[in-house]
Structure 1
Amino acid sequence: MDWAIDTPLFGVTISIITYFLARFISQRLRMPILNPLLLAIAAIIFILKTFNIDLETYNLGGNIITFFLAPATIALAVPLYKQWDVFKNNYLIIISGVLVGVLTGVFSTIIMGKLFNFDKLLITSLIPKNTTTPIAIEIANMLGTNASLAVTFVILSGTLGYVIGEYVLKTFNINNNIAKGIALGTASHVMGTTKAMELGDIEGAMSSIAITLAGIITIILVPFVLKLI
Structure 2
Amino acid sequence: MQDFIEQSLFFGPVISLALYEVGLLIKRRYKLAILNPLLITAIVLIAFLAVSGVEYDSYNASAKYISYFLTPATVALAVPLYEQFKLLKDNLAAVLCGILAGVLTSLVSILLLSKLFGLTHEQYVTLLPKSITTAIGMGVSEEMGGITAITVAVICVTGMIGDMTSEWLFKILRIRHPVAKGLALGTASHAMGTAKAMEMGEVEGAMGSLAIVTAGLLTVIGASFFAQFL
2:114 aligns with 113
Q: Write the distance in 2 (CA, Å) between the matches of 1:110 and 1:145.
A: 14
2:143 aligns with 142
Question: Which residue identity is paired with 1:19?
Answer: Y
What RMSD, in angstroms, separates the aligned Cα atoms of the two structures? Answer: 1.2
Question: Which residue identity is paired with 1:168?
Answer: L
- Secondary structure of 1:61 counterpart: helix
- Does the Cα contact within 8 Å between 2:110 and 2:127 map onto a contact in 1? yes
- Does the Cα contact within 8 Å between 1:77 and 1:208 map onto a contact in 2? yes
Task: Please give the per-residue CA displacement for 1:101-137, whole angstroms capped at 9, x wherever unaligned.
Answer: 0011011111121022123333222111100111111
Q: Write the distance in 2 (CA, Å) between the matches of 1:216 and 1:27.
A: 34
Task: Please give the per-residue CA displacement for 1:130-171, whole angstroms capped at 9, x wherever unaligned.
Answer: 001111111111111111101111111111111111211221
1:223 corresponds to 2:224: yes
1:57 aligns with 58
- Does the Cα contact within 8 Å between 1:133 and 1:151 map onto a contact in 2? yes
- Does the Cα contact within 8 Å between 1:125 and 1:149 map onto a contact in 2? yes
Question: Which residue identity is paired with 2:22?
Answer: L
1:204 aligns with 205
1:76 aligns with 77
Question: Which residue identity is paired with 1:27?
Answer: R
- Does the Cα contact within 8 Å between 2:107 and 2:223 map onto a contact in 1? no
Q: TM-score, normalised by structure 2?
A: 0.95
Q: Write the distance in 1 (CA, Å) between the matches of 2:64 and 2:92.
A: 36
Q: Within 5 Å, which residues of 2 pair with 1:153-168?
A: 153-168=154-169
User: How many corresponding residue pairs?
Assistant: 229
Q: TM-score, normalised by structure 1?
A: 0.96
Task: Please give the per-residue CA displacement for 1:10-47, whole angstroms capped at 9, x wherever unaligned.
Answer: 11111111111111111111111010011011111111
Question: Which residue identity is paired with 1:130?
Answer: S
Residue 3 of structure 1 deviates from its aligned partner by 3.2
Structure 2: gaps spanning 5 or more residues? none
- Does the Cα contact within 8 Å between 1:8 and 1:58 map onto a contact in 2? no
Residue 4 of structure 1 deviates from its aligned partner by 4.0
Q: Write the distance in 2 (CA, Å) between the matches of 1:21 and 1:216.
A: 34
Q: Write the distance in 2 (CA, Å) between the matches of 1:29 and 1:166.
A: 16
1:183 aligns with 184
Task: Please give the per-residue CA displacement for 1:151-199, whole angstroms capped at 9, x wherever unaligned.
Answer: 1111111111111112112211111111111111101111111221121
- Does the Cα contact within 8 Å between 1:7 and 1:60 map onto a contact in 2? no
Q: Write the distance in 2 (CA, Å) between the matches of 1:61 and 1:19.
A: 16
Seen in structure 2, the aligned counterparts of structure 1 residues 4 and 168 have a Cα distance that, compared at 3 Å, is closer
Question: Which residue identity is paired with 1:206?
Answer: M
Q: Write the distance in 1 (CA, Å) between the matches of 2:27 and 2:179.
A: 27
Q: Write the distance in 2 (CA, Å) between the matches of 1:4 and 1:140.
A: 32
Identity %: 38
Question: Which residue identity is paired with 1:15?
Answer: S
- Does the Cα contact within 8 Å between 1:162 and 1:192 map onto a contact in 2? yes
Q: Write the distance in 1 (CA, Å) between the matches of 2:123 and 2:169.
A: 26
1:86 aligns with 87
- Does the Cα contact within 8 Å between 1:142 and 1:222 map onto a contact in 2? no
- Does the Cα contact within 8 Å between 1:10 and 1:61 map onto a contact in 2? yes
